[in-house]
Structure 1
Amino acid sequence: MALENLLTWGEKYGVNIPDGLKFQHDEKKGFYCIATKDVTNPTIEIPQTLIISGKLSRDVFADIETNDENNNSWLKLLFAKLKFDNKATYLSTEEGNDKNEPLNLKFKPYIDALPKIVDSPYLWTPNELKLLKGTNLYNSLFGKLHTIFKEWYNLINKMNERESSNFQVDFTLVEGELKIYDNWSNIDFHNNYHEFYNKIILETVEQRPKCWYSFSSFLWSHLIFISRAFPEYVIDNTRSPSNVVLLPIIDLMNHDYNAKVQWSSTNGGFTYNYIGGTIAENKELFNNYGAKGNEELLTGYGFVLEDNMYDLVLLKIKPPLKVISDILQNEPNLELPTLDDYTTFAFEQDFTKGKDHDEEDDHNDISSYKDGIIYVVNPNVNKDYLEPLWNIFTYLSKKKFEKMTDLRPRLEGLQSLRNALEHKLEGLEDTQETNLSEQICFVNPYRRYCATIYREGQIRILKRGILDLRNEEKNVIHEKKRFLLNFGKITKHDFDFTERELPQLLQDREDEEEMVFDSTFELLVLWVLLKVLNKSFIPKHEWVGDQYKVFLSEEDKCLSPEEGKEIYRSFLAIRGIRR
């Protein structure tokens, strides 16, 4: 019934759906669009009067300052008002057919057809969230929830500062939520999330907010927007690229990243055009949200795709801002992505992003990296997908006297990157085993499925990344083996070390237990320390002593000579050797 009312409403306002297309609904798929006969490159048009944009919120909240920076926030608050406020909401400037028609009445068929719950983890129960432990999504969820809370909190404060002639609000109704925000840092989300869930999230799930301007109302609206919104500059290229709009009926279509679509605007309206040829009878017509991994799909839309070629792992590193500043000034070829680099849309047209938008400014602004640098790991899209990460780890590994192309920092950077991926993988696999052993109960089967597909995708990508790094390390070592020194080469050429220095050192031990070295690296450290103290490098190994001196140089300020000797003494003491 809701779908029928929505389509009738759309037809009344001039929505153009071509013959041969039909919107349907079933319990498994939800809403979708299907071809009732062969249709070639169909077009669906939404008139300007049905587009829910910031123009409406700027009008309704005209008494309160709004601008492009908080355009989306006020629009979400307006949509919460249309959904949950029993009182009529009018535009202050009446135009055309909208004259004297309340907005909540005008858009009621659309609002009634929207889902009461989006399957985003923001609304999952505490037990269901346990299924995500150890993942990026779980680790970032409470921080993102705080960001949404802060967005709402700022709106409430602004409303409290300025009385509006268009509506009255009773701020005592949201005192409890305001106190929760003020006490946010003291909330133990990981061990006591159920209290927060029962006080806040459950109101959104059960659709029983205290008022239209409560956080639970705003959260529902926020989830509707992140799961259904479109960029506003498609219909108005003078608007900020961050501004969004809602497009009734168009947003009923499901996502397929292979669908070839084109979005455009005519007379201020929105036009969807399928450009992939003919849709056969009984086949579904899809929209395309862009190249999105399962983490973004699950968080924003409440679903995942099996075998998603755009699935990815996000790896955040957080160097000191001073280091980032040095990179921006001295290493212009080193990639430092911002979040905007990972924002994708389905269309390929070169829409103007607004007069004041300058992508270069984002990358040169150090404040863009205050929360760290986020890199994408996705082996399916680019064969050199690990190169930017390898480069940044190389930079962080190199000494002041070294270059980015030097072999030592390249290898250390590669090993550090591999360690980071292995650490991340270990966390995912450990929590997966814990979840299996605990047999978490009382969870929605579909949400369990989504959590499983998402986690398995993360594990698969990390394992592939680790394997590719190991292969790369083998290739580098094989290619540069004549420049590398290992313990095998030392024993082959440095007879004095193996026949005199090392045996003599071992004789000075305080105990008689058998000595076991954990790795050849320890033997290499021992060799360097002995050769430095004895000044006994053979000619072909003198470069090692020279590098050691540079390492201790005052310019590099890594270690003083005394600290070097202390390392030597400490190492031998650990091994039970007197010196």
Structure 2
Amino acid sequence: MAKKSNNNYKQKQADVDACVKWAVDHGSSIPELYQFKYDTQKYGVYCKLSTNDLVHKEQLKFTPLKIDESIILSNDLAQSFLSKFVSIKDLGSLRETHVNILIKIFLASSFKLENNPQIIDFKSYFDVLPKRIASSIFWSEEELQIVANTDLHRKTMQILNKTIKPELEAIKNLNLPFGITEDSYKWAHCIISSRGFPAILLENVNNKYHKQEAILWPIVDFLNHSNNVQVQWSKQTEEQGDKLSNKLQFITVNSNLNGDDNKSDGDDFEIFNNYGENKNSEDYIINYGFALENLNDEFVTITTRVANEEYVKLCEDQFLIKFADSFKDPNNDESYIVKFSLSYNKFPIYLIKFFSVACRLRSENFISRRSTLEGLSHINSTLTQMLANYKSKIITESGKPIQQDVSNLIKNYQVNFKKILNSTLDLLQEYTKSLIKETKDLFSYKNQVSTNSAFQKLLKHHLKKTTYKELLQDENIFNVSLLMFIIYQAKKEISIDTLDEEDYETTSFIRETFFSVVKTYKITDEDYLDYAPQFASFIENPSSVLSFTLEDFIIADIVVDKITWEKPSSKEVFFIKQEEYSLN
């Protein structure tokens, strides 16, 4: 078995060496500084520095890779290939409606047309490309169902239903003399999505398609990605004999010599590319067929919709919220989609700010402690619901066996995302506790009900209940009791003999808020009509403790939203002063 594995490695390395030679034979410049090796553990190619020392690392900055344009795979090349079978007009129409469809057909056809001269021209490159990709677009329906309700499932289904299926249908209408199978086309899609570079690198200003299309850049696409390096891609024109030759040039501008990417490589110093993209395991599983192993590189995306672009600007400009991404909703011209990224054990300050802004009252142009606590409750609920989606057992409903590499991918994906969500929930819980503890003007309604004998008499007279537990049995009665408490605190008479200075100070913000609303809110005839049916009996049957008016309940119903917050875990209501809170 070991001998067979060793022979397989030798063949793979021979294929890599042959591909490098093929590129050089076609006019490319690949300095000896760059050593391309086959990775037996990750089943792919990587590039290492010929000698791991400071001198050679510095040489990277002025020793570029130059790949001749003649071996760049593009949709233009694919169109030339396909024009032997389909009219240029039909290919142009297809190219306009389906981005990169021509180059995908060219790649997929390599399985059926091995002896075609144009396919043979790229055989050395095709031999190095991975033949099997464990991407989720290849998974069975039952395997996909294991990750139902996750972004991995949604993204995968969107690619299958919105891209691959329509493109395969369009290909059928071409009536090509050779067949394109669904699996070969999925493979071609993965090759483009994982290895494609922007076609604008070719700098063909007359080509209207290049702004959105991709190209394959042999040799350079063997370099793995890292965010820790700065690189430069450019097009160069050079004299080659008596002709001018176009090259696509890659050069390392600045390499993180002590970066995490090279810590475990022993004597090797890997040369990386930087695609300028921030991807998590969902993107890697879909496009590459593997998941991230390093939890520090992983993130969970939180996506939500807002009313319009003005709301996005309000969050950014007034509240200094930074989104991971924001863009116009493709399904609604007015609304916008905003995204946040959660990382392991990292405090999600911008997510908290966003939900605190969302939980403000219309009358508030600031973040308050109440809106922050309300926002924290919403985030906690959202993340708890998400967490359940990463706890599914890795088994199919029918009992059919799951491919081992798919099972490993799902397990790795679930473990990392659960760790991130759990760590975020822990941070939110600790922050909520500290916020409650540090807030001076905050007290429990439950405690007030159990200790305030005068208010208990008021409850018994009007609601026939005296305990918090009894009030909770009926939501409507509980809400009425809150209004009664607000009115009681605002209008109760205080004598020198009965004055409890501590209690008076604790509840004083209720009185302040109540009479502030009295001064600013103009009660309408509609208000009287709305409130009279429910509260007339309170006025007609006054208590010895306190008399109510209809106006009291109208005002209290406005006040209650400004100064109350319900703790989700216990359903306990707290009164909290309405004031601006600085969330940094």
TM over 0.5, shorter chain: yes
Note the C-alpha offset of 1:285: 3.3
Quick one: structure 1 residues 26 and 403, their matched pair in 2 at CA, closer, same or farther if it must change by over 3 Å?
A: closer
Q: Secondary structure at the match of 1:398?
A: coil
Of residues 10, 16, 31, the one that matches 1:3 is: 16
Q: Which moved more, 1:287-296 or 1:5-14?
A: 287-296
Quick one: structure 1 residues 504 and 152, their matched pair in 2 at CA, closer, same or farther if it must change by over 3 Å?
A: same
CA contact (8 A) 2:329 2:337 kept: no
Aligned to 2:569: none
Is residue 452 of structure 1 aligned with residue 414 of structure 2?
Answer: no
CA contact (8 A) 1:325 1:366 kept: no
Note the C-alpha offset of 1:455: 1.3
Q: Percent identity?
A: 20
Task: Measure the CA separation in 2 of the matches of 1:556 and 1:317.
Answer: 36
Is residue 297 of structure 1 aligned with residue 284 of structure 2?
Answer: yes
Aligned to 1:276: 255
Higher strand share: 2
Quick one: structure 1 residues 261 and 216, their matched pair in 2 at CA, closer, same or farther if it must change by over 3 Å?
A: same
Note the C-alpha offset of 1:440: 7.0
Of residues 1, 24, 27, the one that matches 2:37 is: 24
Deviations 1:292-311 (A, max 9, x none): 22222222111222224231
Aligned to 1:472: 431
Aligned to 2:47: 33
Aligned to 1:528: 482
Deviations 1:467-496 (A, max 9, x none): 2323333444345432x3432674599542
Note the C-alpha offset of 1:223: 0.8
Of residues 169, 185, 205, the one that matches 2:176 is: 169
CA contact (8 A) 1:306 1:453 kept: yes
Of residues 369, 373, 396, the one that matches 2:337 is: 373
CA contact (8 A) 1:337 1:373 kept: no
Q: Which amino acid aligns with 2:431?
A: E
User: Which residues in structure 2 correspond to 1:2-401 (within 5 Å)?
Assistant: 2-25=15-38, 27-30=40-43, 31-38=45-52, 39-40=56-57, 41=60, 43-59=64-80, 60=82, 62-64=88-90, 65=92, 70-85=98-113, 88=116, 102-126=117-141, 128-129=143-144, 131-152=146-167, 155-156=170-171, 169=176, 211-212=179-180, 214-236=181-203, 242-267=212-237, 268-274=246-252, 275-276=254-255, 282-289=268-275, 290-319=277-306, 323-324=307-308, 327=311, 333=317, 363=327, 373-379=337-343, 385-387=348-350, 389-401=351-363
Note the C-alpha offset of 1:506: 6.6
Q: RCO higher in 1 or 2 (8 Å CA, sep ≥ 6)?
A: 1
Quick one: structure 1 residues 142 and 364, their matched pair in 2 at CA, closer, same or farther if it must change by over 3 Å?
A: closer
CA contact (8 A) 2:329 2:335 kept: no
Structure 2 runs not aligned, ≥5 long: 1-10, 238-245, 494-507, 539-584
CA contact (8 A) 1:316 1:372 kept: no
Q: Which amino acid aligns with 1:530?
A: M
Q: Secondary structure at the match of 2:390?
A: helix
Note the C-alpha offset of 1:384: 6.4
Q: Which amino acid aligns with 2:290?
A: F
CA contact (8 A) 1:82 1:104 kept: yes
Of residues 387, 412, 419, the one that matches 2:381 is: 419
Task: Measure the CA separation in 1 of the matches of 2:474 and 2:222.
Answer: 61
Quick one: structure 1 residues 494 and 73, their matched pair in 2 at CA, closer, same or farther if it must change by over 3 Å?
A: farther
Aligned to 1:186: none
Quick one: structure 1 residues 518 and 228, their matched pair in 2 at CA, closer, same or farther if it must change by over 3 Å?
A: farther
Task: Measure the CA separation in 1 of the matches of 2:331 and 2:189.
Answer: 26
Q: Secondary structure at the match of 2:66?
A: strand
Note the C-alpha offset of 1:313: 0.9
Q: Which moved more, 1:238-247 or 1:529-538?
A: 529-538
Quick one: structure 1 residues 216 and 410, their matched pair in 2 at CA, closer, same or farther if it must change by over 3 Å?
A: same
Note the C-alpha offset of 1:415: 1.5
Task: Measure the CA separation in 2 of the matches of 1:404 and 1:130.
Answer: 43
Deviations 1:275-323 (A, max 9, x none): 438898544433344442222222211122222423111122245xxx2
Note the C-alpha offset of 1:441: 6.6
CA contact (8 A) 2:344 2:420 kept: no
Q: CA RMSD in A?
A: 4.6
Structure with max Cα Rg: 2
Aligned to 1:189: none
Q: Which amino acid aligns with 1:251?
A: D
CA contact (8 A) 2:284 2:290 kept: yes
Task: Measure the CA separation in 2 of the matches of 1:57 and 1:144.
Answer: 22
Q: Secondary structure at the match of 1:317?
A: strand
Q: Which amino acid aligns with 1:37?
A: T
Note the C-alpha offset of 1:564: 7.2
- What number of residue pairs does the alignment pair up? 471
